[in-house]
Amino acid sequence: MSEHTLSDWPSWRRQASDGTVVLDLHVIPRASRTQPDGVYDGALKVRLHAPPVDGQANQALIDWLADCLGIAKRDISLLRGATARRKQLRISALGAQRANWSALD
């Protein structure tokens, strides 16, 4: 992984026993630009430029996250929250090992 140990990971990022990582996110669509914006209610708050129409915001979130972490989009999947602001994303074990976690800190 990165230079971080699991004990100093933020509460919105958890590693499962199989090596995958689950992220809790609070998404604000239609922002002026896509960027992280602190923590809200135990989740990483992300402002997304994309509108919440036809899955555009979900795809924009996955695209942005893959770019930030330096991993392939196929390593990220939406677990919960397809139509909600609160979302959970799963990063595959291989993606989690390769990810640049400091990009989100």
Please report the pLDDT score of residue 9 as a whole number.
Answer: 78
pLDDT at residue 4 tops 50? no
Please report the pLDDT score of residue 64 as a whole number.
Answer: 97
Q: Closest Cα to residue 95, out of 4, 12, 2? A: 2
Q: Is residue 102 part of a domain?
A: no
pLDDT-derived band at 8, boundaries 50, 70, 90: low
Q: Is residue 10 part of a domain?
A: yes
Residue 91 belongs to domain with CATH number: 3.30.1200.10
Q: Is residue 103 part of a domain?
A: no
Q: Is residue 104 part of a domain?
A: no
Q: Is residue 87 part of a domain?
A: yes
* Residues of the domain holding 92: 6-97
Q: Is residue 105 part of a domain?
A: no
pLDDT at residue 49 tops 70? yes
pLDDT-derived band at 1, boundaries 50, 70, 90: very low
What is the average pLDDT value for the chain, to the nearest integer?
Answer: 92
Query: How many folded domains does the chain comprise?
Result: 1
Please report the pLDDT score of residue 101 as a whole number.
Answer: 93
